[in-house]
Amino acid sequence: MPWTEPVASFSELRRCIRDLVALSTLPAGWQNYDMRQIGASIVAALISMLDADFVFIALPGQGNQFVTELARSSPKLDSANLQRVQKKLQQERATLGSGREFIIADVSGSSGLRVMTAPIGFGGDATLAAGSIRHTFPTRTEKLLLNTGANQAAIAFQQWLGDAEKRRFTALVQRTTDLVGIASLSGQVQYVNPAGLELVGLASLDDALRLHILDFVSPQHRKTVEDEVWPLVLRMGRWKGELDLKHFGSGIEIPFQIDCFRIDDPRTGEPMNVATVSRDLSAQKNSEATLHHLNEGLEQRVEERTFELAEANKRLVAEKLERAQIDLRFQKLQNDLLLAARLTAAAQMAAALAHEISQPLTAVVNSVNAAKRLLARGGQVNMLSALEVTDEACEQALRASEIVRSLRQLVSRDETERRIEELPSMIEEASAFVLNSVTPLALRLRFEFDDKAREVWVNRVQIQQVIVNLVRNAFEAMANQEPREVTLTTKALDDAMIEIAVADIGPGIHGDIAGQLFRPFVSNKHDGMGLGLSISRSIIEAHDGQLILEPNPGGGSIFRFTLPSCGAAHGD
């Protein structure tokens, strides 16, 4: 059924007026209050004025999000019932801002709690609510008081937020390191922040208020500001650029990045003031100048260094050319030396070769004389015997011819012909030559041939020359000892190379000589010229092999050299 209200008495009217006056005086004490304190003051005043069982206020925060809820209740509502009321109000929050009256049933054993709400003219869901179990609640007077309290809270909240925004803006302007200034439309200075005063060398704001904005600008830029910048700001609303301002203390011109803009009246839209936020560019300009100077110096140093490198490169090219010419001369000298070494070695071997050649030549003479005698006797038998003797003479003549041809190839610069040769027979033949050419001694030759190392692709005469040189050196090294034994060994290293080793059991070679033994004119013998091993290594290397020296573990020395097998010949 509709609520009814009796006619107000004079005392009630007087109490209403008293309460309204009390509400109107509350803002005087709120000057230093924040929103929470203002809300708590409203709640405390209304719970007494309305004789309510509870008063509730919801305070908004940023983005209309509630920062807090404040409530006070009379002893008639215990904590459990108060929580039920608050929960109900939170559920109804979406509609509380429109101003409603409703009943929350079963509160404190009564028929229900009558609730009225009043929106706080603040936007969003800011709400003031009061409730009582009295069946006459709320009266018109109580509604008036609740709405008056909501209006007072709204005014206080708006004032507090405005003051807070003003304080934040003032702190920002006061603390910024940029120049912030405000002037009238005619250009008369109205405000300059502390940082701006310091930047331009003014002691106080009073000094700035006596000046025109053109007084701040350097002489060469004043006409630009007066004729172009200021009219453009008044007409278009903004200008950005760089200008030089004057330092009033020293007179130095300071570069600034200027942002100048017009301030319009928010109600009428008419221009009110002109403001600027300007940044000192001195440090930036100095850094740019320093960087530019460093870049110029760096470019100059790079250019100088590039020139130095170019000159050094020219010298290196010249040195390289000179070194190449020296290498060519050295190569020619080395080739000439090797030729001379071969000639010298051939001269040393001439006596032994002459002895070897004399044997086949003597055999030829004897065979020819025998053939002549047999032919003089006549007869078929003598004729056949003469033919056999003649064949023997031809064989011996061919042997002498081969020895001469080998000597010619030794001293020649031309490439020699290679053929597939049988390695064991070649070694045995060269070893026999050594045995026939040295002084008769108790000598022993041992052969250890690998069945897989039967054939090589070589110039037979040159390789036999190497074998002769190595075997003779081995016997000569053992001239003053007993026994004297040389072992010649062959071994297949792979499909392409075969190794031949010549080992003796002599005194060995001293370490100082061993490292240089293959160089020309280095010898381990007191009467040696030091060319035999050098020539031998050249011959082996010309056959794509290697000649090395190593100590014999049982005493003495081992010379090892490698030669291409017949497989290498087929591969080519």
pLDDT for residue 396 is more than 60: yes
* Domain final residue, candidates 392, 427, 445: 392
For residue 507, what is the domain's CATH number? 3.30.565.10
Which residues, in sequence order, are CB contacts of 98 under 8 Å at separation 6+?
A: 119
Give the Cα separation of 202 and 193 in Å (integer): 11
Q: Are strands 66-73 and 179-183 parallel, antiparallel or unpaired?
A: unpaired
Q: Are residues 30 and 164 in the same domain?
A: yes
Res 483: pLDDT: 85
Contact 411, 342 (CB under 8 A): yes
pLDDT at residue 66 in the model: 47
Q: Within 10 A of 72 (CB to CB), how many other CB atoms are there?
A: 18
If asked whether residues 136 and 259 sit together in one domain, one would say: no
* Same domain, yes or no: 423 and 301: no
Question: Which pLDDT does position 218 carry in this prediction?
Answer: 92
pLDDT band for 291, please (50, 70, 90 cuts).
confident
Q: Is residue 2 part of a domain?
A: no
Q: Answer whether residue 4 is part of any domain.
A: no
d(Cα 547, Cα 563) in Å, to the nearest integer?
A: 10
* pLDDT at 546 exceeding the cut of 50: yes
In the listed set 280, 305, 336, which residue is the last one of a domain according to the structure? 280
pLDDT band at 126 (very low <50, low <70, confident <90, very high): confident
End-to-end CA distance of the chain: 126
Q: Provide the number of structural domains found in the chain.
A: 4
The whole-angstrom separation of Cα 484 and Cα 503 is: 11
What are 77-90's pLDDT values in tens digits?
A: 777 777 777 777 77
Instruction: Reply yes or no on whether the pLDDT at 4 is more than 50.
Output: no
Q: Are residues 132 and 14 in the same domain?
A: yes
* Nearest C-alpha neighbor of 487 from the set 469, 500, 498: 500
**Residue-by-residue DSSP string for 201-220:** T-S-HHHHHTSBHHHHB-HH
Whole-number percent of the chain with pLDDT over 90: 21
Rounded distance, CA 436 to CA 1, Å? 155
Q: How far is Cα 175 from Cα 168, in angstroms, rounded to an integer?
A: 10
With CA atoms as reference, report the closest residue to 107 among 81, 132, 130. 81
Whether residue 165 sits in one domain with residue 48: yes
> What is the average pLDDT score of the chain?
79
% residues pLDDT > 70 (the chain): 76
Within this chain, do residues 61 and 159 fall inside the same structural domain, yes or no? yes
- Both 143 and 266 in a single domain? no
* Boundary (domain end) residue, out of 172, 198, 222: 172
Looking at the structure, do residues 153 and 221 belong to the same domain, yes or no?
no
* Residues of the domain holding 335: 286-392
At 276 the pLDDT is 92
Tell me which of 330-339, 341-350, 428-437 is least confident: 341-350
Find the CATH number of the domain harbouring 70. Answer: 3.30.450.40
Whether residues 78 and 214 fall in one domain = no
Task: Determine the pLDDT at residue 29.
Answer: 63
pLDDT band at 256 (very low <50, low <70, confident <90, very high): very high
- Do both 89 and 224 map to the same domain? no
Q: Are residues 163 and 56 in the same domain?
A: yes
Contact 181, 194 (CB under 8 A): no
Place of tokens 């005493």: 555
pLDDT exceeds 70 at position 62 = no
Instruction: Compute CA distances 243 → 121, 125, 146, 148, 224, whole Å.
Output: 48, 50, 59, 56, 10
Residue 151 lies in a domain: yes
Closest residue by Cα to residue 363 from 387, 401, 386, 397: 397
Structure confidence at residue 374 (pLDDT): 81
> Residue 7: its pLDDT value, please?
46
Per-residue model confidence (pLDDT) at position 350: 61
- CA 474-479-481 angle, to 5 degrees, is 105
Residue 399 in any domain: the answer is no
* Residue 167 and residue 197 in one domain: no
Residue 412 domain-assigned? no
Q: Residue 413 pLDDT > 50, yes or no? A: no
Q: What does the pLDDT look like over 383-392, one tens digit per residue?
A: 888 788 788 7
Whole-prediction pTM: 0.36
Are 491 and 502 contacting, i.e. CB atoms less than 8 angstroms apart?
no
* pLDDT tens per residue, range 336-383: 656 655 665 555 556 545 655 666 677 677 778 887 888 888 888 778
pLDDT of 529 higher than 50: no
